[in-house]
Structure 1
């Protein structure tokens, strides 16, 4: 048994050498293969370009965000030109928005039929992530580990968490994992009408930042590469992703591959005057379950909802999120759209 040159690995905890630069970290496995200096240099730079690391060649790991550290790990693996790329929970150490961007980029790389890798084997504890990315979902059982079942995923790409068919498959895989014993017959998807409406967590971004992004996008002709947005506005990439996510939740922009582009609603919003913009913003807020819940709670409290009660509700409905930060975002977005007001002196939300 020896090393398999057709397989490369991306680790959960980055596994970078802290005393090496980004380029040196990417080159390390190539040098171990005994390649010439020119080949090592060319393959490392090509791999870094594929994951958006241009300009970071001389940076050290301590100078990078967690998302960019994982990009280095992916570039190091891609530089080996593997037929099979193995990834051990590659997005578990980064924030949700960065993980979303990295997943999209990884799929773009994999779908390039002219380049390796041909196959990606990814370990994940996220059912939603598996459904969004995989063609086949292998469910394992433990003690000892063995394959419990393989679920084919034939949903068309690109996939969205808002797609009812995606949610059905998420529920089906969840049923398989949580069932005490794997049934002999296929687990059926839940009846759509009985599936609870999902409340999506809000990115912590100010309404003014979303407006700034939309104005910048308008100056660029309505579409721009995400990395160019970060470079031209001199804004950290993670901050750009957060802002784009907020605009996308309001359906003002779409994000095909690495671009951010106006939707029809976004174009209508930009063409409107300020009063009409507030109307459009308010209408888009009410497309989000969270804001409908807040409005319903205010109505049930006869027009005055104490902050503390909403914080408890947010903690219950979004247990993985910081309720204070979510509250701040809810108030900021709701105020701009004049969906409700927040009286800070009394710490209550009102409909006026």
Structure 2
């Protein structure tokens, strides 16, 4: 078995000028990915980071051959990639197991698709199950397993095909912290010991610490459209001590890159966002935003914190922390610079006020800095009866965003607007309305 570090100059996958376009509701083209150049070489683990909407999962699926690039070229083993290929395997966040099949049968699926003989399938599947630490569970059904065990099955199903390239899409994010760390460390042990035939691993993650602990190289995508905007090489051997000053410094560096305006996309500044209803609002819960601001303004931070330290104190993953911090930045309640977050004067005032006054301040900032909320409010004020249909706004958003993303963004704008009392929403009728006290009197829009 070849060592994964042998012939490290050998390219496993090459992407040249890869772009992916989607057609909006008004039939215009919008890029999800644009001009991506990336080479994955034998013997390396590469982590890919980027905010939601940066195209990470789309890029992963292009490399897996599950979707095609609209422009550019993908080469695997030196040849153009046309559809799925033997030698590429993928592990999904959702486990993606067939619930009616046993562990053994789920692991054998990839081999069956390759036409491997029954006896050989059974032998290789048993070896993979044993390798991943599930010996004795061959006949168990997925419902009888814990989340960590189900993900082990997903990994075994990928390993059994002996791929050159292993793609991992948020593979540990659905697990609790301890289980995820254990499984991550066991995967690294398999890699370092050379017990698999894998030549290269690409990990898509939201977890900055996970990327620093696992990878030889971190690639960071910007958003709208997704482009590679930074690359960080990690010089430390594995295993790594997360508490060492060198590792903590590198984690801080990646946080800085992840929270810089270029990483968040060309429209991330509050002023720019205020002019663009198609801005991808960060997936942030209001209660979480307020909890982070409260924590930031109290001891030991007193208004300024290192983001990794804040995440640790708040007990939040990067997937929860970074969108909430981006939302605070967008509303001008905090600023983010060089991996640190600071409460603004307005943010400190927000912290010191009572809930009713917080809602008023939130609504004011929302209308000033979030274009979609201001757009909804303006349309409500201009309508005769002070109401508009949710579907109307959704169609407008689909000129900028994919339908599922447009729905997510509108749901957030509705939630934020209702909290800030700048408009109301009826879940039964799907109608957006002005606040009750501002609604036109019956008949006010008609002439006698």
With normalisation by structure 2, the TM-score equals 0.41
* Corresponding residue pairs, total: 192
1:178 aligns with 2:259: yes
Deviations along 1:94-151, one digit per CA (max 9) or x if unpaired, are 0000011101111111123363111100000011000000000000111111111111
Does the C-alpha gap of structure 1 residues 315 and 109 become closer, same or farther in structure 2, counting only changes over 3 Å? closer
Deviation of 1:319 (Å):
4.1
CA deviation map 1:137-189 (0-9, x unaligned)? 0001111111111110111211121111110000001111111237xxxxxxx
Give RMSD over aligned pairs.
Answer: 2.2
Shift in CA distance, 2/18, structure 1 to aligned 2, threshold 3 Å: same
Number of the residue aligned with 2:118: 37
TM-score when normalising by structure 1: 0.52
Say if 1:19 and 1:60, in contact at 8 Å, map to a contact too: yes
Q: How does 1:323-342 map to 2 (within 5 A)?
A: none
Shift of 1:320: 3.5
| Residue of structure 2 equivalent to 1:107 | 188
Flag the 1:179–1:316 CA change in 2: closer, same or farther, 3 A: closer
Rounded to whole Å, the distance in 1 between the matches of 2:311 and 2:209 is 21
Q: Which has the higher helix share?
A: 1
Distance 1:101 1:7 in 2: 24
CA distance in 1, matches of 2:183, 2:101: 23
Cα 1:181–1:33 shift into 2, 3 Å: closer
Deviations 1:272-325 (A, max 9, x none): xxxxxxxxxxxxxxxxxxxxxxxx99xxxxxxxxxxxxxxxx99933439xxxx
- Distance in 1 (CA, whole Å) between partners of 2:314 and 2:233 is 30
Residues of 1 paired with 2:164 and 2:122: CA distance? 21
Partner of 1:317: 313
Q: Which has the larger radius of gyration?
A: 2
Gaps of 5+ in 1: 183-295, 298-313, 322-352
Q: Distance in 1 between matches of 2:252 and 2:161?
A: 37
The separation in 1 between residues aligned to 2:173 and 2:116, in whole angstroms, is 33
Cα deviation, residue 57, structure 1: 0.4
List per-residue Cα deviations over 1:301-351 (Å, max 9, x = no partner).
xxxxxxxxxxxxx99933439xxxxxxxxxxxxxxxxxxxxxxxxxxxxxx
Does the Cα contact within 8 Å between 1:139 and 1:149 map onto a contact in 2?
yes
- For 1:67 and 1:13, locate their aligned partners in 2 and report how far apart those are by CA, in whole Å: 11
Q: Does 1 or 2 have the higher relative contact order (CA < 8 Å, sep 6+)? A: 2
Stretches of structure 2 lacking an aligned partner (at least 5 in a row): 1-81, 264-298, 301-309, 318-448
Partner of 2:165: 84
Partners in 2 of 1:317 and 1:102 — Cα distance?
24
